[in-house]
């Protein structure tokens, strides 16, 4: 379930337990082509956001694949999956940071150039300026976390905690800023003519995939405890 880009993909990386007696050490990665006998794309989910990307259920009905479609080493699937998940969190953090910035720029441009109340642009009111400044500061902080996690990953350093922090915070900022942007824009933010409401809907997935926000908090706390326990 929840397989991203199922409709568009020509092949899938499938993690299956080839030796259940070994527990997670029996998990192996395989390449399965869409044309494989017994493999089919089933229900396409109707989602709140990120609707441009298909998310589907896929079915396996006695699928058989040749041995040469094993990916990597047998029994190393869990290790590969966790490594990809940790690295993927940096990507989601970058996605959410970009979404937050896009929502901010769209709304800021509107309140400073178009929307007027009481004979002045809404963006000129101090109360609005403070919100814009706070939101932009948080976006920059999220971006710094993304860059730091990326730096450590490229340098071959331990980046797991940094990736979790970046993903956690960037998703929080994306949800907060995209929601505020709708309020800043008033009616024009609430209607579906523009992109403000779309960004708000798209932001929600950031707290869910590649590990929920609670999972990020657990990961961060466990690694901190490891470093600070005598």
| Domains of the chain listed by start with CATH number | 3-71 (2.40.110.10), 77-228 (1.20.140.10)
Mean residue pLDDT across the chain: 96
For position 184, what pLDDT does the model report? Answer: 98
207 φ/ψ angles, rounded to the nearest 5 degrees: -90, 5
Active site residues: 210
Counting residues of the chain whose pLDDT is more than 70, the rounded percentage is 100
For position 126, what pLDDT does the model report? Answer: 97
For position 69, what pLDDT does the model report? Answer: 96
For position 40, what pLDDT does the model report? Answer: 97
For position 92, what pLDDT does the model report? Answer: 98
For position 201, what pLDDT does the model report? Answer: 98
Q: Say what the pTM is.
A: 0.93
For position 76, what pLDDT does the model report? Answer: 96
List of residues 6+ apart from 229 with CB closer than 8 A? none
* pLDDT-flagged residues of the chain (< 70): none
Per-residue DSSP letters for 120-180?
Answer: EEGGGSHHHHHHHHHHHHHHHHHHHHHHHHHHHHHTT---HHHHHHHHHHHHHHHHHHHHH
What is the distance between the alpha carbons of residues 202 and 51, in angstroms, rounded to a whole number?
Answer: 8
For position 124, what pLDDT does the model report? Answer: 97
């Amino acid at each position: 379930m929840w397989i991203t880009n199922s409709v568009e993909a020509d092949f899938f990386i499938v993690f299956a337990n080839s030796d259940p007696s070994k527990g997670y050490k029996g998990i192996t990665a395989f390449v399965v082509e869409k044309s494989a006998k017994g493999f089919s794309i089933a229900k396409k989910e109707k989602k709140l956001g990120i609707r441009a990307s298909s998310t589907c259920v896929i079915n396996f009905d006695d699928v058989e694949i040749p041995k040469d479609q094993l990916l990597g080493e047998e029994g190393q699937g869990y290790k590969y999956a966790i490594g990809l998940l940790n690295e993927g969190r940096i990507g989601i953090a970058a996605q959410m940071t970009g979404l937050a910035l896009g929502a901010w720029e769209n709304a800021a441009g509107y309140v400073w150039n178009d929307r007027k109340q009481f004979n002045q642009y809404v963006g000129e009111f101090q109360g609005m300026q403070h919100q814009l400044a706070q939101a932009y500061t948080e976006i920059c902080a999220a971006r710094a976390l993304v860059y730091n996690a990326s730096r450590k990953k490229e340098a071959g350093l331990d980046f797991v905690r940094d990736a979790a922090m970046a993903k956690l915070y960037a998703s929080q900022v994306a949800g907060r800023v995209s929601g505020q942007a709708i309020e800043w824009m008033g009616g024009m933010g609430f209607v579906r003519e523009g992109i403000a409401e779309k960004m708000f809907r798209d932001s929600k997935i950031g707290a869910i995939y590649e590990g929920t926000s609670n999972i990020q908090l657990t990961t961060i706390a466990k690694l901190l405890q490891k470093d600070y326990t005598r």
